[in-house]
């Protein structure tokens, strides 16, 4: 939390936002470059160091950050006044970007979209800010704006992020036929109940094999169907054998490069 608090003070960019990535020393200059003289695993190329996504706009970070701060305040130590002031400034900034497209969690390198995952995490950002203010009785001058933003995002996601014909949540408002496994986070951040029919229908779709419109293959779950995508990301999410978190429960533990 000391590291996070320091980032609020030292790492904000000109418009008030936060970079998506830091080194362990808090640096944000992480340029990507290719090492042409090296081969990767089994001769794969190019070998890259740094990270070309370091300057991406990934608005989901604000939800993940606020959830971490909220949980720290609940299970660790009460956050201090100066951090709360920084949180207020950050969420007031998030008000200005909540309607903008981004590159989201999978770090796509083509066109920005209104990704459903990012919208859910923006909802989380305002939700945790409001909860934190209530639990600690912190002053919250823009409470009404945060509340309107949170509720507006929820309505918007349910209208634009769910395909009633397919009966599942989709990847983005623009791509309403692409199924994306990132929606599995929704019950864990209390955006939706795990037994809500919309979530159960989405789970049923994800559990289908790719040739039937789903994402599950030989015990693994694709992030999304790369055959239908322009950016060509090809990662899997592991399905845990012990089903604990959802109803029907599913847990995903790690990313695996193939």
**Which position has the token pair 């029907």?**
248
Considering only CA atoms, which of 161, 150, 149 is closest in space to residue 114?
161
Higher-confidence residue of 163 and 13: namely: 163
Taking 80 as the threshold, does the pLDDT of residue 114 lie above it? Answer: yes
List Cβ neighbours of 241 (8 Å cut-off, separation of 6 or more). Answer: none
pTM of the predicted protein model: 0.83
Mean pLDDT on 37-57: 82
| Beta strand spans in 138-249 (E) | 162-163, 168-169, 216-217, 220-222, 235-239
CB 217 within 8 A of CB 239: no
Instruction: Tell me the pLDDT band of 122, cut-offs 50, 70 and 90.
Output: very high
Taking 60 as the threshold, does the pLDDT of residue 37 lie above it? Answer: yes
Helix (H) or strand (E) holding 252: strand 252-257
Distance of CA 29 to the CA centre of its chain: 22
CB 47 within 8 A of CB 34: yes
Residue 88 sits at the vertex; the CA angle it makes with 137 and 13, to the nearest 5 degrees, is 160
Residue 95: its pLDDT value, please?
97
SS3 23: coil
| Dihedrals phi, psi of 49, to nearest 5 degrees | -125, 165
pLDDT digit string, tens, across residues 188-198: 999 999 999 99
Q: What is the distance between the alpha carbons of residues 118 and 125, in angstroms, rounded to a whole number?
A: 10
Residue 57 sits at the vertex; the CA angle it makes with 231 and 98, to the nearest 5 degrees, is 115
The mean pLDDT of the chain is 85
């Amino acid at each position: 939390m000391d590291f996070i608090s320091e980032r609020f003070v030292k790492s904000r960019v000109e418009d008030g936002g936060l970079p998506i990535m830091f080194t362990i020393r808090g640096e944000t200059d992480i340029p990507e470059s290719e090492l042409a003289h090296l081969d990767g695993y089994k001769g794969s190329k190019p070998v890259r160091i740094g990270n070309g996504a370091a300057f991406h706009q990934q608005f989901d970070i604000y939800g993940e950050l606020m959830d971490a701060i909220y949980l720290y305040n609940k299970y660790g130590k009460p956050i201090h006044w100066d951090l709360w002031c920084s949180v207020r400034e950050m969420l007031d900034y998030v008000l200005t970007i909540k309607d903008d497209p981004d590159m989201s969690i999978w770090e796509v390198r083509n066109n920005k979209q209104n990704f459903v995952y990012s919208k859910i995490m923006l909802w989380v950002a305002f939700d945790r800010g409001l909860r934190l203010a209530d639990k600690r009785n912190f002053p919250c001058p823009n409470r009404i704006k945060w509340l309107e933003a949170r509720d507006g995002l929820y309505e918007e996601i349910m209208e634009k992020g769910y395909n009633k014909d397919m009966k599942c949540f989709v990847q983005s408002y623009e791509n309403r036929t692409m199924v994306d496994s990132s929606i599995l986070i929704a019950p864990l951040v209390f955006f939706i109940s795990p037994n809500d029919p919309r979530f159960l229908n989405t789970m049923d779709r994800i559990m289908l094999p790719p040739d039937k419109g789903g994402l599950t293959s030989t015990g693994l779950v694709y992030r999304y169907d790369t055959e239908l995508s322009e950016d060509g990301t090809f990662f899997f999410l592991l399905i845990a054998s012990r089903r604990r978190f959802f109803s029907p429960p599913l847990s995903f533990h790690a990313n695996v490069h193939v």
